[in-house]
Amino acid sequence: MKTISKRYAISIISFTFATICLFSQQVNTMYFMDNNPYRNKLNASFQPLSNVYIGFPIVGYSQYGLGNNALSLTDIFNLDGSIKDFVSMLKKSNQLRTDIDLNLFSLGFRTGKSYWNLTANQRFDFQASASKSLIDAATNGTTDKSYAGFDLNIFTEAGLGYSRKFGEKFQAGLKLKMLVGEANMSLQSNSFYFKNASNKIDLNNEGFLRTSSPLKINGLEVPDIPALSDFVKPSGIGAAVDLGVSYEVIKNLNLSAALNDLGSIKWTNNAKTYIYSFSANQLPADAQGLDSVANYSSNFYTLDSTQVAYSNSLMPKLNIGVEYGFFENKISLGLLSRSSFYKKSIYNELTASLNLKPLSWFDLSGSYSFLNGRSSNIGAGMGLRLGMLYMFATADYIPLNFKDKISSPDLGNIPAINTSSVNLALGFSFVFGNKQDKDKDGVSNGRDKCPDTPHGVIVDKKGCPLDTDGDGIPDYLDKCPDTPKEAYNNIDADGCPIDSDGDGVFDYADKCPETVPAAYGKVDENGCPLDTDKDSIADYLDKCADTPAGVAVDSLGCPLDEDKDNVPDYLDKCPGTPLAALGLVDENGCPLDSDADGVADYLDLCPNTIAEARANVDKNGCPKDTDQDGVADYLDKCPDTPIEAKGTVDEKGCPRDTDGDGVLDYLDNCPRLAGVASNRGCPEIKKEIRQLFQKALQGIQFETGKSTIKPVSFKILNDVAKVLSENPTYLIEIQGHTDNVGKKDANQILSDNRAKAVREYLINKGIDAKRMTANGYGDTRPVLPNTTKANKAKNRRVEFVVSFEEVKIVTEE
């Protein structure tokens, strides 16, 4: 056997990793190519521009995908033959995939707002995975708990698709697919243990293998070649569905979403499941060839098989796209998110796209995909229609980052290409008709009688804006879409019947076309001002809209009220009521007399006279008080009280005697202190007290020019204090007086100080200060003319004034 160099072997292994595409099954760049009839494979709601398209086997549509998630071609050819370097570039979990999608037949056609398509495709899907630790065993000779596996599906897909446009913005689509399986093989190898030491190998592994195909596989035996009829017989049957929606949010901004390949295949033909385990220790490391290894290992593995049908799912994909167009959608920017679901994992890819659509028969698209952290995932696509022939080519992951060529001893000079995937689709089909629609109204240009209809406007079958009410104003401009025929010649630019006088009744029905603004809201169905009470005054002028029939009214529509008492004449029983009674009349228009005293309220100053007094009131309606003592006659028990007693009568109108001394208050100088009539109701001073005060008049003396009381006066003052103490009803004023010798101001001060000195002396003797006041009067109150020395001596004095009797005490210096 010819030996292959280690470097060349590593390159082959690496190339295997680098040429299997990770989860492609679609070319992202094609998503935003409007002309391509096959883009409904990516979203079932998309409708081709052509009215009919036919795709023939293979040439109609072919899609190929190759790639991995670990190595680019540059990585491979930069290897120097070291397995260790190769393993260092791998991921912890390495995913590998290839897929092929070949058109067998496709037919699509439009019916109104709907689009149907019939398709048949041959599909080949292969995906594999392996842990980095398993491959690393080639370097360090040991691995533990590694895993590897693959899934292979070969099946034919037959589909019926339908999409429909709802309104002008929303489209939805559905594709039902029947799956006819030709072959399936799935391997899952778990708990892989490998150790290579001292030229001896320890190997432990367990897993399962599922297979269904025309081949009758029996363990490790080489299967027989099946008959041709066995290849015709399906190995499995399944079903799947594609779902899609798209929505135009605003003009030229579209959102779309699709869920594809949601389904599974049940495998029945020659369906077997093998469960194996392998456990061998101390195998010779120099065993060569399959037969030698089998001789050593045949005693160390077990293989159990069951023949039973099983199912496996397709790999669903979720596409979410957004696209915004510029310059009448000649240029657009698109963003596509693709999520692939595989074995409880989600793999995401984001593609940004620039799309050029300068002509109806040509479009061009460039894209950039964010995948696996690579920076050179460029995509491009082009579509071209020549008559009935449409051809296209699209690709993702185009290698644009070329480096200098790498020289390989085994492969020669090769380009250094920084890409890990290749994914392309191409084909050509026959297309008929074209849904070229310049104004995007759903009517193709050839049939459109109104080719410049604004975007989003609902049109008729000729492409012209609908005019439902036939008034000559299209519905999208018509703010009154139900205008009657009678108004056709009398509408405004908004399609609404004109209302010249603004009364809410259109001119075509208005019998009073010149209604004033004040009447707005108060017109009848003929546009004439209402007169609800039929008083010949229109409601908008009528301040009394409920006037009874036949009643005479004024210019405001209110019943006449000649006396202005707010009771209309037709109800007024007192039509001559004076203006002074305004607001004080009853419902009959007569002046009110609330207290029924015979005096109308508007004249009555006492409107609440009680019943007992009603017969005895004056012209003002108030109860009479003949003696004017403040007690009305109907309550007065003393109706002839003299005028002097006014203010001193009780509630019965009789003069009061507050102190009960028999002297009425209005005659009593001491109304709150019982006295005698001879002293006008004040208490009489006893004889001995009078004698004491007389003696005191001659005994109070002061130092000359001073307010100092001489000791000789103390005896008299003590007697006065005793009298005041024994007669607590006495209230006195102590007055100081001088002659006219000296200045007036000095005399005033001296008299005041002497009066206060006497008051202080008596206070010190226990007399309540509140019973006494002290005031100086200077020379303002002489008792005799100040013409002689004797007279002047009389004028220099201190007087005690009792509240009910005045006692004068003259003192000499």
Query: The domain spanning residue 151 has which CATH number?
Result: 2.40.160
The reported pLDDT for the residue numbered 809 is 38
Same domain, 272 and 156: yes
**617 DSSP 8-state letter:** B
Indicate the residue among 432, 453, 487 that finishes a domain: 432
Which are the contacts of 42, defined by CB distance < 8 A and separation ≥ 6? 26, 30, 31, 258, 260, 319
Strand 52-55 relative to strand 62-68, pairing:
unpaired
Same domain, 335 and 214: yes
- In whole angstroms, how far apart are CA 526 and each of 323, 430, 487, 491, 715? 55, 66, 15, 18, 118
pLDDT digits (tens, 9 = 90+) for 378-388: 889 999 999 89
Which of the residue ranges 16-20, 95-99, 101-105, 543-547 has the most confident prediction, judged by mean pLDDT?
Answer: 101-105
Residues in the chain: 813
pLDDT at 539: 81
Cβ–Cβ under 8 Å, residues 718 and 712: no
Average pLDDT, the chain: 80
Q: Is residue 495 part of a domain?
A: no
pLDDT in tens, 705-759: 888 998 988 988 898 899 889 888 888 888 888 889 989 999 999 999 998 999 9
pLDDT at residue number 258: 97
Domain-embedded: residue 603: no
In the predicted model, is pLDDT for residue 18 greater than 70? no
| 94 strand-pairing partners | 130
The per-residue pLDDT for range 233-292, each reduced to its tens digit, is 899 999 999 999 999 999 889 999 999 999 999 999 888 888 877 776 656 655 443 344
For residue 609, being part of any structural domain is answered with no
Considering the domain architecture, whether residues 269 and 412 belong to the same structural domain is answered as yes
Strands 732-737, 421-432: pairing kind:
unpaired
| Overall domain count for the chain | 3
Does 483 reside within a domain? no
Which residue, among 533, 553, 556, has the nearest Cα to 543 in the 3D structure? 556
Residue 573: give the domain boundaries.
Answer: 561-590
Q: Max Cα separation, the chain?
A: 180
- 360 pLDDT more than 80: no
Give the orientation angle of helix 714-726 with respect to helix 687-697, to 10 degrees.
150
Q: How confident is the model at residue 806 (pLDDT cuts 50, 70, 90)?
A: very low
Report yes or no on 631 lying in a domain.
Answer: no
Instruction: Please give the C-alpha separations between residue 181 and each of 156, 161, 241, 338, 519, in angstroms, as whole numbers.
Output: 6, 20, 16, 26, 83
Q: What is the pTM of this model?
A: 0.53
What is the band of 7 on the pLDDT scale with cuts at 50, 70, 90? Answer: very low
Answer with the one of 378, 401, 432 that is the final residue of a domain. 432
pLDDT at 19: 39
Residue 61 in domain: yes
Residue 437 has pLDDT above 70, yes or no: no
Strand locations in 251-388, DSSP E? 253-267, 272-284, 301-306, 310-313, 317-326, 331-342, 345-359, 362-370, 378-386
Q: Do both 696 and 565 map to the same domain? A: no
Same domain, 584 and 691: no
Residue given tokens 């072997």 in the structure block: 9
CA 366 to chain centre: 42
Burial class (CB within 10 angstroms; exposed 0-12, middle 13-18, buried 19+) of 701: middle
Cβ pair 306, 276 in contact under 8 A: no
Residue 771 forms part of a structural domain: yes
Domain's final residue, options 366, 400, 432: 432
Nearest to 354 by CA among 24, 27, 33: 33
573 lies in some domain: yes
732-737 and 772-776 strand pairing: parallel
- Please name the amino acid found at residue 590: C
Rounded mean pLDDT, 666-677: 78
Give the CATH number for residue 797: 3.30.1330.60
User: Residue 249's pLDDT is what?
Assistant: 92
Instruction: Say which residue, 451 or 41, is predicted with more confidence.
Output: 41
